[in-house]
Chain A
Amino acid sequence: MILKDKRVLVTGASRGLGAAMARVFTSEGARVAFTYTRDEEGARETEKTGARAFMCSVLDVPATDAMVRELESSWGAIDILVNNAGLSQNLPVALMEEEDWDRVMDVNVKGTFLTTRAVLPGMVRRKAGTILNIGSLAGVRMLEAPVHYCASKAAIKGLTEALAKEVARHGIRVVCLAPGLLEDGVGRNLPEHRLKDYLKHCALGRVGTLEEVAAFAAFLVSDANSYMTGETVVMDGGV
């Protein structure tokens, strides 16, 4: 039970990696709340782990602030924030409209900033807290992938480093977990040739499971890992 009694907020956990983290964190002893935007059915499924659901976009500042206030008053505090909500879209640059760019950058980067900004004051007050940002292999290494998605995940890495430096003096850690291709999530609709290419270059010869990434995430945010901050850890099977 490496997260015993920890109070955790995970954004975007109606399915995929977010849902897996809600499940694994709960089994490690944490109390979990999560956000979702559209997927009611998925949210009900995640709720079955005992997690609390909030229908709340990471771009909705008043709703996010209200959720954080509500959690802080009922739980006392939020110990761990996982900025997981994110999206992608397989598009070549030539077909990428300004709205496409904005949507990916808004949810992935601005959403991480806004949620962090809402949760941070409580962590600063208590001089403790851990923030985990979900990045991507696509943000740290040259890959054939949509440019807006790669740019957004590279931004998360930069955000992680600057934020870690800024909040370290308050005893707050910030870590970025950058998975390679997973069995579910944004890689779901990957064109066949890109999946094949990934498997060819991946030393372990398989995509990652949600369960193993969530288990690593649980360790990264746990008290045992108390000296790692500012780091982006890639989990990609050796691509």
Chain B
Amino acid sequence: MKRCLVFGGSGALGRVVCRALADEGSRVAFTYHTGEAGARELAPHLKDGLALPLDVSSVRDIERTVDEVACAFGAIDAFVQCAGVAVTMECGGTKSHHRIPEVDEGGWDRIMDVNAKSTFFAVRRVLEPMKRAGGGNIVFIGSVDGVKPAPSPVHYAASKGALAGMTQAMAKELGEDRIRVNMVAPGLMDGGLSRALPDNLRAEYLKHCGLKRVARVPEIAAVVAWLALHNTYVTGRTLLVDGAL
């Protein structure tokens, strides 16, 4: 039985990832921040699971939470980082994303902290319990914005690009401990942060996407779950799941 920790488990993607992991017999601990209702709904579906409130902008809280899960489970076989934020503004009734002049220092820091910095400090703490498990899989959720040129808020794209860099460097450093690190970079989904996308960008996406539709959340969760539970030789890679954008 695999012991999995999922950050951001109450979100649209995180929830489905948790269910997919549990459906394959894993024991799942997940964190939630604002999505308490989602967390309460999810928890009964996870056998011997754990639901833990966590604001990932605090490194101390991240470490405390990882320790708590490691203590409860004994070790951690898989860590999935689904916690993330994007930013959209309401402007005269229409949505638009931040352009460069609108990104102030606070906004930049918040996106980088939640998406990139929290990931590093979580992994740093997960290493010991994962080594105790004899190795394992770490999976990040990136975005097509961090991989292919797409119109998106620069700080969001930069934070996802930072994860891609971390994926490669961590894979190199942790290979000897049999820890594999990969990232799944989804295109637009029918849930989660994708819903915040301005309409003109959604239309643009559908025009260029080969499959001419957005992804269903379970289609992305399936790739994440496979990497978390079954992967033994893929590491340092970003897997684009974007319907041929």
Contact = CB atoms under 8 A, between A and B. Distances in A.
B243 A229 contact: yes
Contact of A227 (B219, B226, B230, B232): B219
15 contacts: A205-B176, A215-B230, A224-B219, A227-B241, A228-B223, A228-B240, A229-B210, A229-B211, A230-B242, A233-B239, A234-B234, A236-B234, A237-B235, A238-B180, A238-B236
A213 interface: yes
Contact of B175 (A165, A203, A230): A203
Interface of B: 171-176, 178, 180, 186-187, 209-212, 215-216, 219-220, 222-223, 226, 230-237, 239-245
A1 to B, nearest CB: 13
B175 A238 contact: yes
A204 interface: yes
A189 interface: no
A204 B239 contact: no
Interface residues of A, number: 31
Contacts of B172: 203, 238
- Which one of B178, B233, B240 has the highest number of Cβ atoms from chain A below 10 Å of its Cβ? B233
Given A164-B210, A205-B175, A205-B176, A231 B241 contact: yes
A203 B171 contact: yes
Contacts of B173: 203
B171 A230 contact: no
Nearest to A180: B233
A208 B240 contact: no
B244 A230 contact: yes
A196 interface: no
Nearest to B173: A203
A216 interface: yes
Given A168-B210, A171-B211, A216-B234, 18 more contacts: A161-B244, A169-B210, A202-B175, A203-B235, A203-B236, A205-B175, A209-B233, A212-B233, A219-B226, A225-B226, A229-B243, A230-B245, A231-B242, A233-B237, A233-B239, A234-B237, A236-B234, A237-B235
B235 A204 contact: yes
Contact of A233 (B187, B216, B222, B234): B234
B137 to A, nearest CB: 12
Contacts, number: 96
B236 A227 contact: no
A227 B175 contact: no
B239 A236 contact: no
A212 B232 contact: yes
Contacts of B240: 228, 230-231
Contact of B222 (A208, A225, A237): A225
B244 A165 contact: yes
A57 B219 CA distance: 35
A237 B219 contact: no
Contacts of B209: 168
B219 A226 contact: yes
A238 B182 CA distance: 10
A204 B171 CA distance: 9
Contacts of B186: 227
Contact of B230 (A161, A202, A219, A226): A219
A6 to B, nearest CB: 16
B192 to A, nearest CB: 14
- Which one of A202, A205, A229 has the highest number of Cβ atoms from chain B below 10 Å of its Cβ? A229
A238 B171 contact: yes
B233 A204 contact: yes
A213 B233 contact: yes
Nearest to B20: A224
A229 B240 CA distance: 9
A225 B243 CA distance: 11
A234 B241 CA distance: 14
A238 B187 CA distance: 24
Contacts of A233: 234, 237, 239
A231 B215 CA distance: 15
